[in-house]
Structures are given as structure tokens and as C-alpha cells.
Amino acid sequence: MNESPLPPQARLLGHRDFRLLLTGAAAAQTGSQITLVALPLVAVLVLDATPFEVGLLTAAETAAFLLVGLPAGAWLDRMRKLPVLIRADVVRCLAVGSIPPAAALGVLTMPQLYLVALVTGVATVFFDVAHQSFLPAVLPREQLVGGNGALETVRSSAQIAGPGLGGGLVQLLGAPLAIVADACGYLASALLLARIRVEEPRPEPEPGRSLRAEVGAGVRFVLGHPLLRAIATATAVSNLFAAVLMAVQTVFWVRVLDLAPGAIGVLLSASAVGGLAGALCAGYLARWVGQARLIWLSTVVTAPFAVLWPLSGGGAGVVLFGVASGVVLFGAVAYNVAQVSFRQSVCPPELLGRMNATMRFLVWGTMPLGALGGGLVADAAGPRAALWLCAAGFLLVPVPLLLSPLRRMRDLPLGDLPLGGTPGSGTQGGGTPDAGDAVAEEGAASTEPAASPITP
């Protein structure tokens, strides 16, 4: 069989439906990155929120993964994914779009922000799980790494452009009006997704299977494999302490470093360059060091830079914060491309929704706890103390990966692996284990979403 003369990226961009999916992701991600700057600034500058209230707002954004994370996967495995994506974008558009008129009328309150964050979070749960489960319906298996790399490149590009644009809009128009851009992004995404023509058959639920049984099947699939357990544990730890960072960083920038909204946007945009570099380099790094090695090496090398967050100061000292975020984001994005591509390849199609939902429940469910903990620590001891807690937590992220079979592997096995069984010699991308390397006993893999080091 002759291979296409076009390079992989050109073949991806020539795929009409994937191009629409990618463009929709760009619109939604850019708007979300603007709100990443604007929403906490609405709380801090407009409503004079305390550090704990900002932490509670961050917790509300991610609480949906605890509330509906597990059943969402089972529900989605009974549905076509594309209509869910479109409806979720419409709900998010309406929710965030309610903030500017409320602010203009002088009736905006913290409870409304909490409600908007919670509703948007629930819609995001369904969107993210459906999105990861929908990509294999758009692209063949051999193009999933390239497709995920392209989506990560879009997300990282939005993380560069969005915060700078958001900071400028906040300074020019005020924080509430800047959020209009997010509503427009979600609307544009919904319109683009509506043009996708993938023939997606309606999944047929297994006769006699209850929702509880279907949820249980997804949980057993995830927890039954050592690779999945290790990746889920590491990702959960990363997200726990990333939520601490998200909860306190705006308060730290405004009340400790005395940064203006425009400067905050520039800082976020500059640090996001690391994420873009990670997306662009992930495929090359996976081929060079091996996909399995990339998963743990990306955290071992980059996590220690988190100690620069609490060491940063005013003036030139703020550069330390940007460097830390950039390096940690580089590692997080490279990690995401490797592990998400693997789990999409290894999971049976009928379990994709439940597998992704279970992973999201496990790894994003720690975020409300981290956000509340960060807010409490910042209230009691100051934002810098909370950043020290965050830095210490990031040093723990590589530990579960280094204690797992991943450390002895170069590449990840493909194919359906039986619970309690042993994979064959097949490896991701046609690679082979190095001499002396052990092959994992069982396999599957897992830290989404997001201008902070959070993984799907």
C-alpha cells in the first residue's frame, strides 16, 4: 500500500470534518482563555471577593466532575456525541453571556458567578467527555496522535493569544464586558460543529444493563489496568495542586504583586508559549524517547520548576512566575498528547465515553478540593504560602509513574488487553522495548482542559 505523499499535518487539515472540529475548538478555547483572566477579576475587582470566595468560585467550576462525572460517560455511550457537543456549547454560551447584562444592571453577585461556574462546568463535563470520544469517529487510529497534537496546538495557541487579549479587554472595557468574547466563542464553536457530516450511528445499549452496571464497567476498565491507575493517580495529584494555583494566582497577582489586568494577560500569554512548544514537540519527543517514557519524563523534568511560583516577586521577579508556568505547561501538554492518544487507541469504542468519564471523575474530581484548600490556606497564611503548598505538591506528581511499569517501558502496547493478562510485544508506533526493558503486565492509559498545568 502506497503512503500518501502529503505530510501528516497536511492530510489532517485536508480532512473537512476534522478541520471544522479544530476550528471550533480554536473559537471556544480562545473565548475560554479570555474568561480565565476576566472571571476571577470580576470577583476580585468588581465584587471585592476574598481569597476563599475566589477559591470557592474555582471549586464551583470543577465540582461538576464529582457531581455528574461518572454517569455522564454511561449516558454518552448511549448517545451520538456530536449533538451533545453542540448543545453543551449553546448552554455555555447562555451561561457566561448572563454575566455582562447583570453587571450592567448592577445586580451581579457572587452567587450568580457560582451558579454560572457550576452550569458551565456541567456542560463542560459532557462536552469534554464527548469530544475525546468523538475524535476516533472522525479520524482513523493511526492519525489520533496527530489529531490530538493539532488540538493541543490550538489549545496552546489560544493560551498564548487569549489571556493577552483578555487582559487588554478587561483594561479597556472592564472585566464583565470582556466575558462577551467567551460567549461568542462558544456560539461560533456550536455553529462550526453543526456543519460536521460524520455518520455517527446511535449506540445500542446492552440489553438488561442498568446505568449503574454500565458505570461500573467503565470504572472496572480504568482501575483494572496498572498503567491507567498510575496515570490517573499522577494526574489527580497534578490537578489537585493545579487547582490550588488557579484559586490563588489572581489574588497573588493583584494584591501581592500589584499587577494590572493587562500585565496579567501578558504574563499568562507568555507562560502559555511553553504549552504551544509542548504541543509542537510532543510527536517528535514520543518518537525519540518513546511514548511511555515521555509520559513520566515530562513530569520528572518539568515539575520541579513549580518552586519558582512562590519565589516570584514584583518587578522583574514576576518573570520567575512566567518561567515556571511555561516549563510546567510544556511538560503537561507533552504528557497529555502521549497518554490521551494511547487511551483512545486501546479502549473499545463502546467503552470510550465511560472510560473518559471515569478518568475525568478521578483526575478532575480532586480540583474542587484543591481550590477550596488553596483558598483556605491563602485566607489564613497568605497567597504565597498557598503557592508553596502547590509547589510541594507538584514534586509528588512523578512518583506514581516512576513506581509503575511505565518506568521499564519505551513504548506503550496497543490493542485490547485482558484484565489480569499480559500484553503481547506490540508497541505504540511500531517501536520496540529497549534491551533489558520489561514489558508492562497489563495496560491502558489515562489530565483535559486548561492556562494552568492541568491534564485531561
pTM for the whole thing?
Answer: 0.71
Residue type at 31 in one-letter notation: G
Cα distances (Å, whole numbers) of residue 148 to 7, 358, 397? 16, 20, 23
DSSP 8-class letter at 272: T
Q: Give CATH superfamily name and number for 9-195+211-430.
A: MFS general substrate transporter like domains (1.20.1250.20)
How high is the pLDDT of residue 157? 75
**From CA 356, how far away is CA 347, in angstroms rounded?**
9
Check: CB of residue 220 under 8 Å from CB of residue 366: no
Extract the C-alpha cell encoding 36: 480565565
Q: What is the pLDDT along the chain (456 residues), one digit of tens a residue?
A: 444 444 455 566 667 888 888 888 888 888 887 887 888 889 998 999 999 999 999 898 888 878 887 777 777 777 888 899 999 999 999 999 999 999 999 999 999 999 999 999 899 888 887 887 788 778 777 777 777 778 877 776 776 777 778 888 888 888 888 888 889 989 999 999 999 888 776 766 666 566 677 777 778 887 887 888 888 899 999 999 999 998 899 899 999 999 988 888 888 878 878 878 887 888 889 889 888 889 899 999 999 999 999 999 888 889 999 999 999 999 998 998 888 776 766 677 777 767 777 887 888 889 899 999 999 999 999 999 999 999 999 999 999 999 988 888 887 665 444 333 333 333 333 332 232 222 222 222 223 333 445 545
Residues near 233 by beta carbon (within 8 Å), at least 6 away in sequence: 400
| Structural contact between residues 354 and 218, judged by C-beta atoms closer than 8 angstroms | yes
**Is 275 within 8 Å of 404 (Cβ atoms)?**
no
Cell of 84: 451533545
At position 256, the amino acid (one-letter code) is V
Give the H/E segment covering residue 93.
helix 81-97
Residue 437 grid coordinates: 526493558
Q: CA–CA separation, 350 vs 206, rounded Å?
A: 10
Give me the pLDDT at residue 168, please.
Answer: 83
- What 8-state DSSP symbol labels residue 141? G
| Class of residue 311 by CB neighbours under 10 A (exposed 0-12, middle 13-18, buried 19+) | middle
Residue boundaries of the structural domains of the chain? 9-195+211-430
> How many Å is the maximal CA-CA distance in the chain?
68
First to last CA, the chain: 35
Compute the distance between CA of residue 328 and CA of residue 298 in angstroms, rounded to an integer. Answer: 9
